Amino acid sequence: MPSKGEIHIIDTTNRDGVRTAELCLSPLQKTMINLQLNELGIAESELGVAGTRYEWGYLNANAKLQELGVLAPIRLRGWLTGMRSELEEVIKHTKLRHLYLSVPSYGPQIQARFGKDYNLEKVVDEVCRTIELAKERGIETVSVGKTDSSRSSDSELMLVARKTRDAGADRYRYCDTWGYENPFSIRKRVEWLARELKRPIELHCHDDLGLAVANSLAGALGALDADVDAYITTTVLGVGERAGNTDLIALLLALKKCKELRDQPLLGDEIKLAK
For every residue of 144-207, DSSP letters joined together read EEETTGGGS-HHHHHHHHHHHHHHT-SEEEEEETTS---HHHHHHHHHHHHHHH-S-EEEEEB-
Distance separating alpha carbons of residues 122 and 88, to the nearest angstrom:
20
Contact of 98 with 75, CB cutoff 8 Å: yes
152 CB-side CA count, 13 A:
25
Contact of 272 with 41, CB cutoff 8 Å: yes
The pLDDT value given to residue 3 = 67
Q: How far is CA 157 from CA 42, 48, 112, 150, 271, in A?
A: 28, 25, 21, 9, 33
- How do 44-49 and 230-234 pair as beta strands? unpaired
pTM for this predicted structure: 0.95
The pLDDT value given to residue 107 = 75
What is the length of the chain?
275
What does pLDDT average to in each consecutive run of 10 residues of the chain (275 residues)? 83 97 94 98 98 96 97 97 94 97 83 81 94 97 96 95 98 97 98 98 98 98 98 98 96 94 91 94
Q: Give the residue among 218, 139, 208, 118 at the shortest CA–CA distance from 174.
A: 218
The pLDDT value given to residue 263 = 86
Distance separating alpha carbons of residues 23 and 130, to the nearest angstrom:
32
Distance separating alpha carbons of residues 232 and 174, to the nearest angstrom:
10
Contact of 121 with 159, CB cutoff 8 Å: yes
Q: What is the largest CA-CA distance in the chain?
A: 53
Contact of 139 with 170, CB cutoff 8 Å: no
3-class secondary structure, 2: coil
The pLDDT value given to residue 2 = 56
